[in-house]
Amino acid sequence: GIYLEGVALPKGFFPFAPPLLLYPKRLVLGASWSGNARFQEQRVALAVRVEGVEGVRVPAGRFNAYRLRVAFTTERGGADVKLLYLVPGLGVVAFQAGEGLVGLVRFSARGAGGRARREPPASPPSSPGSPPPWARTPRASPPAWRAG
Residue 97: predicted pLDDT: 76
pLDDT in tens, 43-95: 999 999 999 999 999 999 999 999 999 999 999 999 999 999 999 888 899 99
Local confidence band at 110 (pLDDT 50, 70, 90 cut-offs)? low
Q: Is 107 helix (H, G, I), strand (E, B) or coil?
A: coil
Beta carbons of 47 and 71 less than 8 angstroms apart? yes
Q: For residues 120 and 114, what is the distance between their CA atoms, to the nearest angstrom?
A: 19
Distances (CA, A) of 84 to 39, 40, 44, 81, 87: 21, 24, 19, 10, 10
Local confidence band at 111 (pLDDT 50, 70, 90 cut-offs)? low
Beta carbons of 89 and 137 less than 8 angstroms apart? yes
Q: Work out the average pLDDT over 100-125.
A: 60
pTM: 0.68
Residue 126: predicted pLDDT: 39
Residue 98: predicted pLDDT: 78
Local confidence band at 116 (pLDDT 50, 70, 90 cut-offs)? very low
**Bridge partners of residue 50, in order along the sequence:** 68
Q: For residues 69 and 10, what is the distance between their CA atoms, to the nearest angstrom?
A: 26
Q: For residues 68 and 110, what is the distance between their CA atoms, to the nearest angstrom?
A: 26
The C-alpha angle 26, 27, 31, rounded to 5 degrees, equals: 125
pLDDT in tens, 21-48: 988 988 999 999 999 999 988 999 999 9
